[in-house]
């Protein structure tokens, strides 16, 4: 089979989430399709219930009985909730599974056969409890959402923080039905930076490069997440994240046993300022905790590059700086990041998911686009007002990045399309 004549990219309106269908035209033979993520954390305002199921039905109508494969870049809810078959077995995930994908591509960290301390596939020793830590943090996020958010919402002083806690916390709660469906709907291809993927054999004439995530053995810095990097992040000044939240206290616990106490509104007026300050500090610490989990999960995100002829399509999921750094510092991987034709904007346009060092490869200072000839297309799947805030330069999408994308690329955003619709980008292969 020869190379495809064109690649059609459909970017679906799922609100705050990602859902992309790549269709490779091999006419007169059947097209081949690759679904990259299917999930949402928040639908556009005014959307009717069942948005993600309608999107799945649209995908099924396009794929039909043609060859099909699935990619789940990482297990955040806004990327995998569409793979949930539903309690009744009739949800979006059941529709996708019925298309009988040939295989499912996931990051190496999702391989259930790995020991919990694995540094890499087949490793016997390594980073202590890496995978178990992610699972335990999922439990923490669930506890925060279930126990703390309702309590904080009752306080006017921290109601805004409670909303962010609820959103980010739910994004990090393990969607068990979706995860199990991804593991069982087809054979799994667990990959890491530099490893070959079944996608290359599935797509004749297309080379698919896995640029991330690295294993712990390849790049130890992926263990952590830095909150501030003015040379790489799209901000003016960002606030460092700390850790110090205490979770697990029950309402009956007392910090000062034997001393007089007064609950809530019955506290003396003179002490209420202190109570509000402590509530605010507690809420901020809980928010920092769920952000740490959010960052940890993003460092497991796949970074895939599809190369066909002189066209290069880059899909990085939610990868952020520690994940990107390995590819940027490894010459054999870095070379694939040059002359990009289509860029799926990382992490819905957040400040730390499109490193400035990557941007400078494409747009050197004082010059035009590297390898100019065709203007880069950028695809942004996002929903404003759901993640971060402008006061500390963490809003998603980051305005400074969006302005640069509009200036240097042909930017297409889900915010400009209606419910359950999609942007349709056709890439001709010369």
* pLDDT tens per residue, range 100-135: 999 999 998 888 776 555 666 654 333 333 455 556
Superfamily of domain covering 6-134+167-236+294-428: Ribonuclease Z/Hydroxyacylglutathione hydrolase-like (3.60.15.10)
Q: How confident is the model at residue 284 (pLDDT cuts 50, 70, 90)?
A: low
The DSSP element (H or E) to which 289 belongs, if any, is helix 269-298
Angstrom distance (rounded) from CA 88 to CA 102: 24
Task: Give how far Cα 77 sits from Cα of 4, 133, 305, Å.
Answer: 32, 18, 23
Bridge partners (DSSP) of residue 380 are 413
Give the model's pLDDT for residue 175. 75
Between the CA of residue 264 and those of 143, 156, 157, 267, 269, what are the distances in Å?
A: 22, 13, 13, 6, 11
**In this predicted structure, which of 142-146, 330-334, 413-417 has the lowest mean pLDDT?**
142-146
Answer yes or no: are the C-beta atoms of 302 and 79 closer than 8 Å: no
- Cα–Cα nearest to 247, from 384, 137, 103: 137
The span from the CA of 343 to the CA of 376, in Å, is 7
Residue located via tokens 């300050």: 277
Percentage of residues in the chain with pLDDT exceeding 90?
A: 49
Distance of alpha carbon 320 from alpha carbon 328, whole angstroms = 12
Residue 300, pLDDT score: 83
| CB burial of residue 426 (10 Å; 0-12, 13-18, 19+) | exposed
Adjacency order of strands within the sheet including 342-344: 207-212, 303-308, 311-315, 342-344, 377-380, 410-413
Q: How far apart are CA 162 and CA 172, in angstroms?
A: 15
Interior angle at CA 181, CA 180 and CA 187, nearest 5: 95
27-60 pLDDT tens trace: 999 999 999 999 998 899 888 999 999 999 999 9
Total Cβ atoms within 10 A of residue 302:
29
pLDDT at 77: 86
Angle between the N-to-C axes of helices 159-171 and 269-298, in degrees from 0 to 180, rounded to the nearest 10? 20
Q: Which two tokens stand for residue 35?
A: 């679904």
Transcribe 294-307 into DSSP letters.
Answer: HHHHHTT--EEEEE
- Could you tell me what percent of the chain has a pLDDT over 70? 64
pLDDT greater than 90 at residue 231? no
**Domain layout of the chain by residue ranges:** 6-134+167-236+294-428
Rg (CA), the chain: 22
Cα separations (Å) of 172 from 140, 290, 425? Answer: 9, 8, 31
């Amino acid at each position: 089979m020869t190379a495809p004549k064109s690649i059609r990219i459909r970017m679906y309106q799922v609100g705050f989430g990602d859902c992309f269908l790549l269709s490779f035209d091999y006419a007169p033979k059947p097209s081949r399709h690759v679904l990259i993520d299917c999930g949402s954390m928040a639908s556009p305002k005014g959307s009717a219930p069942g948005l993600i199921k309608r999107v799945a039905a649209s995908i099924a109508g396009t794929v039909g009985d043609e060859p099909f494969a699935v990619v789940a870049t990482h297990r955040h809810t806004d990327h995998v909730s569409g793979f949930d078959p539903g309690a009744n077995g009739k949800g979006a995930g059941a529709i996708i599974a019925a298309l009988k994908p040939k295989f499912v591509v996931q990051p190496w960290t999702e391989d259930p056969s790995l020991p919990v301390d694995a540094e890499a596939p087949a490793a016997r020793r390594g980073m202590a409890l890496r995978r178990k830590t992610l699972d335990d943090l999922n439990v923490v996020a669930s506890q925060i959402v279930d126990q703390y958010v309702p309590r904080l919402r009752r306080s006017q002083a921290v109601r805004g923080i409670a909303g962010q806690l609820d959103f980010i916390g739910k994004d990090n709660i393990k969607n068990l039905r979706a995860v199990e469906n991804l593991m069982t709907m087809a054979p799994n291809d667990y990959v890491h930076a530099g490893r070959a993927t079944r996608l290359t054999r599935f797509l004749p004439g297309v080379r698919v490069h896995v640029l991330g995530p690295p294993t712990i053995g390849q790049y130890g810095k992926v263990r952590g997440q830095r909150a501030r990097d003015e040379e790489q992040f799209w901000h003016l000044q960002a606030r460092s994240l700390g850790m110090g939240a205490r979770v697990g206290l029950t309402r009956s616990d007392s910090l000062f046993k034997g001393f007089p106490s007064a609950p809530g509104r019955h506290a003396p007026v003179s002490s209420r300022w202190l109570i509000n300050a402590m509530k605010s500090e507690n809420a901020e610490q809980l928010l920092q905790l769920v952000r740490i989990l959010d960052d940890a999960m993003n460092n497991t995100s796949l970074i895939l590059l599809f190369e066909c002829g002189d066209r290069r399509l880059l899909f990085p999921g939610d990868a952020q700086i520690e994940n990107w750094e390995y590819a940027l510092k490894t010459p054999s991987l870095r070379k694939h990041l040059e002359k990009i034709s289509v860029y799926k904007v990382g992490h819905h346009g957040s400040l730390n998911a499109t490193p400035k060092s990557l941007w400078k490869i494409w747009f050197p200072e004082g010059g035009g686009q590297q390898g100019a000839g065709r203007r880069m297309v950028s695809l942004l799947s996002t929903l404003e007002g759901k993640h971060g805030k402008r006061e500390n330069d963490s809003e998603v999408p980051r305005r400074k990045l969006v302005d640069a994308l509009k200036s240097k690329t042909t930017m297409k955003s889900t915010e400009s399309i209606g419910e359950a619709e999609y942007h349709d980008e056709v890439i001709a292969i010369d």
